[in-house]
Amino acid sequence: MTHIAVERNRRRLMNDHLASLRSLIPSNYIPRGDQATVVGGAIDYVKQLEQQLVALQAAAAERSGVGVVATAATAASDGVFVSPQYTSYSEARGGSGVDVEATAAVGGHVRVRVAGRRWTGRLLRAVAAMEDLRLTVLHLAVTSVGHDAVVYCFNLKMEEGCEMATADEVATVVHQIFAYAGACC
């Protein structure tokens, strides 16, 4: 009997939390009311808010005269990058390098963020290279930071045959891919 009461309480709490989450997310992100749609909509909404944050930081920096490169370079300290594995862009204050952070290698899914200079064709070459390495792009968000900097947010899936197993390994490969894609342009 105790197990049944505990499970009933767990379901009630879960439904209460989902209802609270549903009330915080705009309705266009949640077309249906099932649990998976609510959680997925919340994830998409948070990603969109992160992009707005980067854009607002860039606009504020331009108004204050700090400069776009400094804004993209300090994105790590402002919460966009929590613990980047590579910081060749921010350390060089806008050189040809890229900042890369890969997190959450759970169930074969990895979230990767890349900040760097905008180069024509760089994203296309990078996505093609990742797919050649059996990293499927499930979701991509692009945020312009001023006229020459950009932040890419990827959700990747490590497919069967992918030789990488950890987020650090993915970060290393993505850093190499973006460094090469930027250098060859």
Which residues are CB-neighbours of 24 under 8 A, at least 6 positions away? Answer: 42
* 8 Å CB contact between 172 and 85: yes
How many Cβ atoms sit within 10 Å of the Cβ of residue 24? 8
Q: What is the pLDDT of residue 10?
A: 92
Q: What is the pLDDT of residue 184?
A: 54
Cα separation, 69 vs 150, whole angstroms: 10
pLDDT, one tens digit for every residue, the chain (185 residues)? 789 999 999 999 999 999 888 888 888 888 888 888 888 888 888 878 877 777 777 677 667 665 544 444 444 444 556 566 666 566 555 556 788 888 876 678 888 888 888 888 888 999 999 999 999 998 888 888 777 788 888 888 889 888 888 888 888 999 888 887 655 54
Helices marked H in 65-160 — which ranges?
68-73, 88-91, 122-132
